[in-house]
Amino acid sequence: MKYLILVRHGQSEWNLQKRFTGWVDVDLTANGKLEACKAGELIKELKLDISFFFCSYQKRAIETLNLILNTLRIRNSKITKAWELNERHYGALTGLNKDEMKKVHGEEKIHKVRRSWEYKPDPQDRNNPYHPINIEIYKNIPRNKIPDTESLKDTYERVVPFFKKNIFDKMSKNILIAAHGNSIRALCKYLLKIDNKNISKLEIPTGNPLFFEFDENKKILNAKYLDKDRSKDLLFFN
Q: Which residues are catalytic?
A: 9, 87
Integer angstrom CA distances of residue 189 from 15, 103, 182:
23, 30, 10
Q: How far apart are CA 33 and CA 63, in angstroms?
A: 8
